[in-house]
């Protein structure tokens, strides 16, 4: 294909971002403050520092600093696998016969297989700088655990990963990668924690959930002073680190004078979507762009489209601070869905607020249709996408087909957050036509909502 815009756009090393961008600084309406679960007052750093690294807490509570310098050693870390490619989907466009231009930012070529490494590196670095010896975390589909295992291997930190049991059984190789990088992987719920034992007593056969694995990881972290807990999504500082995705994308697009009309990402906790849209949403909030933003979630875990915008805990044991967010209730256990990374009851406070205020759209998709889109994509673009990322592909294809109807030549950008190398059992089920859509009934959702704490909401 002979076009002026190359198929793959890579930034040169000197063009790579030196700062993270804090989207909150440009939000006139900020997300509601994080509350201490005991006092119901906004948390102060000392409330969070027993659990999280100091620098992470500072970033978490900083709504104002617009550009946060990326420390030199983290720039080094990023250079080991970044920049990622911004790819023009010429083949997909042609197959769809759409007048739309489709671009995707592909975060899946590093060994962890996803964008998660963008925050794992900084968080491990901050822990090391603080003099810590070890970290704990949870992982669902395994991307975050793998990324953190790599980062801890790189910076020389011990790591314990609580892996949602159903995932650890479905993905033994994910576990193997983490262990090869030196991490200790414990299927959750486990009997190594109070939180785990409590859940196992109630339901010895549970496949686990992210909310439960978080409880176990936090409990373990606070037991010793040289250990902290790190989270791979949802929180503000994670979205800050992930802004590298959007910043690189914007720099690459600016180089070629490309302005996206529609920006799409899959949303589990929001780290990939939040990172991709950050600088573009910043422009929109300051009136410089009319782009549309679309969050795509699985119909089996419809946090945006069927959740509530209220204060809730981040974990099932109700030990975390309270965050005002779109939530299905901390007790919501999603039905087994192979798009494991999107199975969280809550959502980034930043994205929740943007959705609440009408700046961000959301839609829920059934997984069989998501896999249809994935197959269409892999056969044209050549890349085997993660089931999570395929939610974004589904929406991008739908928007491109809408352009075909209307004849509009829109510019569609989506985030391809990871590869499907470790999700082949899901593809095998798809090939065997044994995948099903597991949409929760209203009654099931109600059972989640009753676990939401009864706290006065602002509005």
> In sequence order, what DSSP letters do the residues of 123-154 get, joined into one string?
HHHHHHHTT--EEEEEESSSHHHHHHHHHHHH
* Residue 321: CB minimum distance to a second copy, A: 33
Q: Smallest gap, in angstroms, from Cβ of residue 394 to a second copy?
A: 17
Nearer to a second copy, 94 or 409 (CB): 94
Alpha helices in 203-335 (DSSP H): 210-221, 236-255, 271-285
Residue entry with tokens 């589990």? 268
Q: Which of 251, 285, 336, 375 binds a second copy (CB under 8 A)?
A: 375
Question: Binding to a second copy by residue 348, rule CB under 8 A?
Answer: no
Under rule CB under 8 A, which residues in 57-96 are in contact with a second copy? 76, 79-81, 83, 91
The CB-of-47 to a second copy minimum distance in angstroms stands at: 34
Question: What span, in angstroms and rounded, lies between the C-alpha atoms of 296 and 315?
Answer: 22
Helix, strand, or coil here: 298?
A: strand
Give dist(CA 291, CA 11) in Å, integer.
23
Please state the closest distance from residue 298 (CB atom) to a second copy, in A: 20
Among 29, 45, 66, 180, the residue binding a second copy under the rule CB under 8 A is 180
- Residue 234: name the closest of 137, 168, 337 by CA: 137
Smallest separation, CB 365 to a second copy (Å): 20
Size of site (CB under 8 A) for a second copy: 45
Which residue among 181, 280, 304, 355 contacts a second copy (CB under 8 A)? 181
- If one asks whether residue 179 binds a second copy (CB under 8 A), the answer comes out as yes
Q: Within 112-171, which residues bind a second copy (CB under 8 A)?
A: 113, 150, 153-154
Provide CB contacts within 8 A for 416, sequence distance 6+: 87, 104, 105, 106, 107, 108, 383, 385, 389, 392, 393
Q: Give dist(CA 309, CA 316) in Å, integer.
A: 18
Nearer to a second copy, 141 or 325 (CB): 141
Q: Of all helices (H) and strands (E), which one includes residue 163?
A: strand 158-164
| 371 half-sphere exposure, CB direction, 13 A CA radius | 21
Minimal distance in Å, beta carbon 267 to a second copy? 24
11 phi and psi, to 5 degrees? Answer: -75, 150
Exactly one of 191, 224, 286, 431 binds a second copy (CB under 8 A); which one?
A: 431
Q: What track of x and - describes contact with a second copy for positions 377 through 396 (by CB under 8 A)?
A: -xxxxxxx------------
Q: Which of residues 401-430 bind a second copy (CB under 8 A)?
A: 419, 421-422, 424-425, 427-428, 430
Smallest distance from a second copy to CB 146, Å: 9
* CA gap 140, 284 in Å, rounded: 33
Q: If binding is defined by CB under 8 A, does position 22 make contact with a second copy?
A: no
Nearest distance from C-beta of residue 130 to a second copy, angstroms: 22
Query: Quick one: CA torsion of 122, 168, 180, 138, rounded to 10 degrees?
Result: 20
Site residues (CB under 8 A) for a second copy?
1, 6-8, 10, 12-13, 76, 79-81, 83, 91, 109-111, 113, 150, 153-154, 172-173, 176-177, 179-182, 375, 378-384, 419, 421-422, 424-425, 427-428, 430-431
């Amino acid at each position: 294909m002979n076009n002026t815009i190359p198929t793959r756009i890579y930034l040169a090393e000197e063009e790579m971002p030196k700062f993270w961008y804090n989207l909150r600084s440009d939000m006139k309406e900020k997300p509601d403050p994080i509350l201490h679960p005991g006092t119901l007052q906004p948390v102060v750093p000392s409330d969070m520092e027993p659990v999280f690294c100091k620098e992470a807490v500072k970033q978490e509570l900083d709504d104002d600093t617009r550009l946060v310098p990326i420390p030199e050693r983290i720039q080094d870390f990023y250079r080991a696998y970044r920049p990622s490619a911004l790819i023009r989907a010429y083949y997909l466009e042609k197959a769809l016969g759409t007048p739309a231009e489709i671009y995707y930012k592909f975060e899946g070529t590093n060994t962890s297989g996803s964008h998660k490494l963008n925050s794992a590196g900084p968080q491990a670095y901050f822990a090391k700088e603080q003099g810590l010896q070890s970290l704990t975390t949870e992982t669902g589909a395994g991307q975050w655990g793998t990324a953190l295992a790599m980062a801890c291997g790189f910076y020389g930190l011990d790591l314990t990963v609580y892996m949602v049991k159903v995932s650890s059984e479905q993905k033994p190789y994910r576990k193997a990668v983490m262990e090869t990088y030196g991490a200790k992987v414990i299927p959750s719920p486990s009997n190594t924690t109070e939180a785990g034992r409590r859940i196992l007593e109630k339901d010895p056969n549970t496949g686990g959930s992210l909310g439960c694995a978080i409880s176990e990881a936090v409990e373990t972290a606070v037991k010793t002073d040289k250990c902290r807990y790190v989270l791979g999504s949802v929180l503000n500082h994670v979205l800050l680190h992930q802004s590298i995705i959007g910043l690189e994308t914007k720099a690459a697009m600016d180089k070629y004078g490309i302005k996206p009309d529609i920006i799409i990402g899959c949303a589990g906790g929001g780290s990939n979507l939040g990172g991709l849209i950050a600088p573009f949403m910043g422009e929109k909030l300051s009136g410089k762009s009319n782009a549309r933003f679309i969050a795509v979630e699985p119909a089996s875990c419809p946090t945006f489209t069927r959740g509530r915008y209220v204060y809730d805990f981040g974990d099932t044991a109700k030990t975390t601070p309270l965050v005002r967010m779109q939530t299905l209730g901390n007790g919501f256990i999603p039905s087994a869905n192979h798009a494991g990374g999107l199975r969280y009851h809550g959502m980034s406070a930043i994205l929740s607020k943007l959705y609440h205020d009408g700046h961000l759209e959301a839609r829920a998709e059934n997984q069989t249709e998501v896999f249809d889109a994935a197959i269409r994509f892999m056969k044209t673009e050549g890349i085997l996408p993660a089931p999570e990322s395929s939610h974004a592909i589904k929406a991008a294809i739908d928007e491109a087909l809408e352009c075909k109807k209307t004849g509009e030549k829109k510019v569609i950008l989506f985030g391809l957050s990871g590869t499907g190398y470790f999700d082949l059992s899901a593809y095998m089920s798809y090939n065997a036509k044994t995948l099903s859509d597991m949409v929760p009934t209203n009654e099931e959702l109600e059972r989640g909502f009753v676990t939401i704490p009864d706290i006065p909401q602002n509005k």
